[in-house]
Amino acid sequence: MFTPICRDFIVDVPIEIAWQHLAKVKQWPSWARHMKRVELVPAGGLKLQSVGFIRFKVGITSSFTVTEMDPPRNWKWVSRILWLTIQADHRFDVVDAQHTKLIWIWGCEGFGESIVGRVLAMIVNKQWDIAIRLITAEMNALSK
Protein backbone atom coordinates (compact mmCIF):
# COMPACT_ATOMS: atom_id res chain seq x y z
CA MET A 1 0.00 0.00 0.00
CA PHE A 2 1.42 3.31 -1.11
CA THR A 3 0.56 5.77 1.69
CA PRO A 4 1.60 9.23 0.65
CA ILE A 5 -0.29 11.30 3.23
CA CYS A 6 -0.57 11.19 7.00
CA ARG A 7 -1.67 14.45 8.60
CA ASP A 8 -2.52 15.20 12.22
CA PHE A 9 -3.88 18.26 13.97
CA ILE A 10 -5.52 19.18 17.27
CA VAL A 11 -8.98 20.65 17.74
CA ASP A 12 -10.32 22.34 20.87
CA VAL A 13 -13.22 19.97 21.52
CA PRO A 14 -13.64 16.67 23.39
CA ILE A 15 -13.34 13.48 21.34
CA GLU A 16 -17.11 12.82 21.30
CA ILE A 17 -17.85 16.26 19.82
CA ALA A 18 -15.05 15.90 17.25
CA TRP A 19 -16.44 12.49 16.25
CA GLN A 20 -20.03 13.73 16.00
CA HIS A 21 -19.04 16.78 13.99
CA LEU A 22 -16.88 14.94 11.47
CA ALA A 23 -19.47 12.16 11.12
CA LYS A 24 -21.96 14.67 9.67
CA VAL A 25 -21.09 13.63 6.14
CA LYS A 26 -23.50 16.00 4.40
CA GLN A 27 -21.66 18.92 6.04
CA TRP A 28 -18.21 17.97 4.72
CA PRO A 29 -18.37 20.58 1.91
CA SER A 30 -18.45 23.33 4.57
CA TRP A 31 -14.77 22.61 5.25
CA ALA A 32 -13.80 20.37 2.30
CA ARG A 33 -14.22 23.06 -0.33
CA HIS A 34 -13.19 20.70 -3.14
CA MET A 35 -16.45 18.81 -2.53
CA LYS A 36 -19.73 20.07 -3.92
CA ARG A 37 -22.07 17.56 -2.25
CA VAL A 38 -21.87 14.39 -0.14
CA GLU A 39 -24.72 11.92 0.27
CA LEU A 40 -24.89 8.91 2.56
CA VAL A 41 -26.86 5.68 1.98
CA PRO A 42 -28.71 4.84 4.05
CA ALA A 43 -29.34 8.44 5.07
CA GLY A 44 -28.66 9.30 8.68
CA GLY A 45 -25.60 8.56 10.73
CA LEU A 46 -22.31 7.20 9.53
CA LYS A 47 -22.00 3.50 10.31
CA LEU A 48 -20.21 0.36 9.19
CA GLN A 49 -21.03 -0.44 5.55
CA SER A 50 -22.47 3.03 4.91
CA VAL A 51 -21.99 4.04 1.30
CA GLY A 52 -21.28 7.64 0.47
CA PHE A 53 -21.23 9.55 -2.78
CA ILE A 54 -18.98 12.58 -3.13
CA ARG A 55 -19.63 15.03 -5.95
CA PHE A 56 -16.43 17.00 -6.44
CA LYS A 57 -16.48 20.55 -7.77
CA VAL A 58 -14.55 19.42 -10.84
CA GLY A 59 -17.61 17.35 -11.83
CA ILE A 60 -16.41 13.87 -10.84
CA THR A 61 -18.52 11.70 -8.54
CA SER A 62 -16.90 9.01 -6.43
CA SER A 63 -18.40 6.52 -4.00
CA PHE A 64 -16.90 5.22 -0.78
CA THR A 65 -17.82 2.42 1.62
CA VAL A 66 -17.13 2.51 5.36
CA THR A 67 -15.16 -0.68 6.05
CA GLU A 68 -14.11 -0.10 9.65
CA MET A 69 -15.87 1.68 12.51
CA ASP A 70 -14.73 1.97 16.14
CA PRO A 71 -16.57 4.95 17.70
CA PRO A 72 -15.15 7.34 18.80
CA ARG A 73 -11.65 6.12 17.85
CA ASN A 74 -11.68 5.73 14.07
CA TRP A 75 -13.46 4.93 10.85
CA LYS A 76 -11.99 3.88 7.56
CA TRP A 77 -13.49 4.08 4.11
CA VAL A 78 -12.49 2.59 0.77
CA SER A 79 -13.11 4.01 -2.69
CA ARG A 80 -12.08 3.47 -6.30
CA ILE A 81 -10.74 6.14 -8.61
CA LEU A 82 -9.60 5.12 -12.07
CA TRP A 83 -7.58 1.93 -11.52
CA LEU A 84 -6.75 2.70 -7.91
CA THR A 85 -8.20 1.60 -4.60
CA ILE A 86 -8.18 4.53 -2.18
CA GLN A 87 -8.26 4.09 1.59
CA ALA A 88 -8.86 6.89 4.06
CA ASP A 89 -8.55 6.36 7.80
CA HIS A 90 -9.91 8.99 10.19
CA ARG A 91 -8.48 8.56 13.70
CA PHE A 92 -9.41 10.40 16.88
CA ASP A 93 -7.10 10.49 19.92
CA VAL A 94 -7.78 12.13 23.27
CA VAL A 95 -5.24 14.82 24.11
CA ASP A 96 -7.10 15.87 27.25
CA ALA A 97 -10.73 16.44 28.26
CA GLN A 98 -11.10 19.44 25.92
CA HIS A 99 -8.77 18.59 23.03
CA THR A 100 -8.71 15.89 20.37
CA LYS A 101 -5.98 14.95 17.95
CA LEU A 102 -7.31 14.06 14.51
CA ILE A 103 -5.13 11.88 12.31
CA TRP A 104 -6.06 11.53 8.65
CA ILE A 105 -4.31 8.83 6.65
CA TRP A 106 -4.82 8.51 2.90
CA GLY A 107 -3.32 5.91 0.64
CA CYS A 108 -3.84 4.14 -2.64
CA GLU A 109 -2.84 0.99 -4.43
CA GLY A 110 -3.35 -0.50 -7.84
CA PHE A 111 -2.26 -0.14 -11.42
CA GLY A 112 -0.45 3.15 -11.92
CA GLU A 113 -0.11 3.96 -8.22
CA SER A 114 3.48 5.09 -8.66
CA ILE A 115 2.42 7.76 -11.18
CA VAL A 116 -1.32 8.42 -10.91
CA GLY A 117 -1.25 7.81 -7.15
CA ARG A 118 1.45 10.41 -6.65
CA VAL A 119 -0.47 12.96 -8.70
CA LEU A 120 -3.65 12.26 -6.71
CA ALA A 121 -1.64 12.51 -3.48
CA MET A 122 -0.37 15.96 -4.47
CA ILE A 123 -3.94 17.08 -5.19
CA VAL A 124 -5.30 15.60 -1.94
CA ASN A 125 -2.46 17.06 0.11
CA LYS A 126 -3.08 20.54 -1.28
CA GLN A 127 -6.83 20.25 -0.62
CA TRP A 128 -6.14 19.01 2.92
CA ASP A 129 -4.09 22.15 3.66
CA ILE A 130 -7.30 24.13 3.20
CA ALA A 131 -9.66 21.52 4.71
CA ILE A 132 -7.62 21.12 7.91
CA ARG A 133 -7.54 24.88 8.48
CA LEU A 134 -11.32 25.12 7.93
CA ILE A 135 -12.37 22.07 9.97
CA THR A 136 -10.11 23.20 12.83
CA ALA A 137 -11.75 26.64 12.86
CA GLU A 138 -15.21 25.09 12.58
CA MET A 139 -14.66 22.69 15.49
CA ASN A 140 -12.87 25.25 17.65
CA ALA A 141 -15.87 27.57 17.25
CA LEU A 142 -18.00 24.84 18.87
CA SER A 143 -16.01 25.18 22.10
CA LYS A 144 -16.81 28.88 22.51
**Count of domains observed in the chain:** 1
Rounded CA gap, 91 and 72, in Å? 8
Domain range enclosing 69: 2-142
Q: What CATH number is given to the structural domain containing 52?
A: 3.30.530.20
User: What pLDDT was estimated at residue 37?
Assistant: 96
Phi-psi category of residue 59: left, alpha or beta, with phi > 0 → left and psi -120 to 50 → alpha: left
User: What pLDDT was estimated at residue 14?
Assistant: 97
User: What pLDDT was estimated at residue 42?
Assistant: 84
Mean pLDDT in order along the chain per 10 residues (144 residues): 84 97 95 95 89 92 96 96 89 98 93 81 90 96 86
Question: Residues 45, 132, 107, 75: is their CA dihedral positive or negative?
Answer: negative
Q: What is the pTM of this model?
A: 0.91
